[in-house]
Amino acid sequence: MGKLRQAKHPVPDEPVSNEPVFPPVALPLENAFKNQLESISGKVYLLNDEKELFDTLKQSISEFDPATVFCNEAHLFPMLKDAEIGFQQYEGPQNPVEAGITACEFLIARSGTVMVSSAQGGGRQLSVYPPVHIVIARKNQLVESLEEAYAGILEKYNDNLPSQIALITGPSRTADIEKTLVLGAHGPKEIRVFLLT
């Protein structure tokens, strides 16, 4: 231990730069987000109004039995009902689940990442347990960087931060088994983001 304390630590020849590590996102944020998430097997729908959003959502989930589609975001209930989208309130994994509909905290354009938290109606389970995770978001939730998203969380919750904040970048995946990429290994095999621009 004494030798470690006496060791000389190299001093960098040049001062550390204060320049940002990443260049700014060049595209409009919604296009950058879409490009990033779709490059890693996610799906993003850019929609102009609520009618288009819920019509597109209804078509997207028509493959599922409404008894297997779940949502716990109370503010979405009236819009889902008005669009005649069948869904159930989620009360745990005792029923068959095909799709979970959640809101989000933020969308991060640089990486195509969805930020969710346990403070949302979907809690900890609806973004992880269903095979298909459906996210409904608005343009004011779209930020360029992770730093902006964390600043937004701090501003929103102040001293009462959620017990869990999760970052979702594409479907769950692993290549641990024989170096073969498998989607849905530890969570949803699909993520579909419906973004109202």
CATH code, 172: 3.40.50.10420
pLDDT at 181 over 60: no
Q: Decide if 157 is inside a domain.
A: yes
Across 65-74, 113-122, 170-179, 188-197, least confident range: 170-179
The reported pTM is 0.84
pLDDT attached to residue 150 = 96
pLDDT band at 132 (very low <50, low <70, confident <90, very high): very high
The alpha carbon of residue 111 and the mean position of all alpha carbons in its chain are separated, in whole angstroms, by 11
pLDDT at 184 over 50: no
Average pLDDT, whole number, for the chain? Answer: 88
pLDDT attached to residue 139 = 96
Mean pLDDT of 47-71: 96
Q: Decide if 12 is inside a domain.
A: no
Q: Decide if 175 is inside a domain.
A: yes
Residue 62: give the domain boundaries. 27-196
- Helix or strand run (H / E) with residue 53: helix 50-60
Q: Decide if 7 is inside a domain.
A: no
Question: What is the domain count for the chain?
Answer: 1
pLDDT band at 1 (very low <50, low <70, confident <90, very high): low
Percentage of the chain exceeding pLDDT 70: 84
Q: What would the two tokens of residue 101 be?
A: 């509909």
Mean pLDDT of 89-115: 92
Q: Decide if 18 is inside a domain.
A: no
Dihedrals φ, ψ of 117, to 5°? -145, 165
Q: What is the 3-class SS of 146-191, one letter each residue?
A: HHHHHHHHHHHHCCCCCCCEEEECCCCEECCCCCCCEECCCCCCEE
Q: Decide if 17 is inside a domain.
A: no
Count of helix runs (H) and strand runs (E) in the chain: 5, 11
Q: What would the two tokens of residue 104 be?
A: 């989000």
pLDDT attached to residue 175 = 53
